[in-house]
């Protein structure tokens, strides 16, 4: 339903259901389901593994070094859990060693 508003799950302000980014706090995916970084199936925060593909949904944040649920943001420091490919600049969750688009090894910063 166009124009129907939902509260942003990060800041609570009302945003359109088709907004990809909250206009108030700037976070991505403000009202949609959290999706598995591997297969894009909807997942729930707190799951250890994706029920669809079995992907482990706990990861080490490459900014703060703490274990976090593999959602859109680190639960500890709030950093976006994505990296940019140094070659083709595609933003992606750090689920493998190589870029999902061009195959170049990703330089994932880990402390
Ligand atoms: Zn927000
Ligand atoms: Zn999955
Ligand atoms: Zn973090
Ligand atoms: Zn690439």
pLDDT tens by residue, 28-54: 999 988 999 999 999 999 999 999 999
Query: pLDDT value at position 111?
Result: 46
Structure confidence at residue 94 (pLDDT): 85
The number of the ligand nearest the C-alpha atom of 10 reads 1
- For residue range 93-104, list pLDDT tens digits in order: 988 889 999 999
For the chain, give the mean pLDDT: 91
- The bound ligand whose nearest atom lies closest to the alpha carbon of 56 is 2
Q: Which pLDDT score, from 0 to 100, does residue 103 have?
A: 95
Residue written as token pair 């925060």: 45
Q: Identify the pLDDT of residue 3.
A: 67
**64 contacts 7 by C-beta, under 8 angstroms:** no
Mean pLDDT of 51-67: 94
Q: Give residue 84 CA to ligand 3 midpoint distance, Å.
A: 16
Whether 58 has a pLDDT exceeding 60, the answer reads yes
43 CA from centroid of ligand 2 (Å): 8
CA distance 16 to 5: 5
* Residues whose Cβ atom is located within 5 A of ion ligand 2: 36, 38-39, 41, 50, 52-53, 55
Q: Enter the tokens of residue 18.
A: 């088709």
Distances (CA, A) of 39 to 24, 51, 57, 86: 29, 10, 12, 23
Q: Which residues contact 91 (CB under 8 A, 6 or more apart)?
A: 82, 83, 84
Quote the tokens at residue 105: 């090894």
What is the average pLDDT across 84-96? 91
């Amino acid at each position: 339903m166009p124009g129907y508003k939902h509260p942003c799950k990060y800041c609570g302000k009302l945003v359109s259901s088709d907004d990809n980014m909250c206009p108030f706090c700037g976070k991505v995916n403000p009202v949609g389901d959290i999706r598995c970084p591997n297969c894009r199936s909807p997942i729930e925060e707190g799951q250890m593994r994706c029920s669809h593909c079995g992907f482990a949904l706990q990861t080490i944040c490459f900014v703060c070094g703490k274990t976090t649920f593999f959602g859109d943001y680190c639960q500890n420091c709030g950093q976006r859990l994505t990296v940019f490919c140094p070659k083709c600049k595609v933003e992606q969750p750090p689920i493998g060693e190589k870029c999902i688009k061009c195959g170049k090894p990703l330089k994932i910063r880990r402390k």
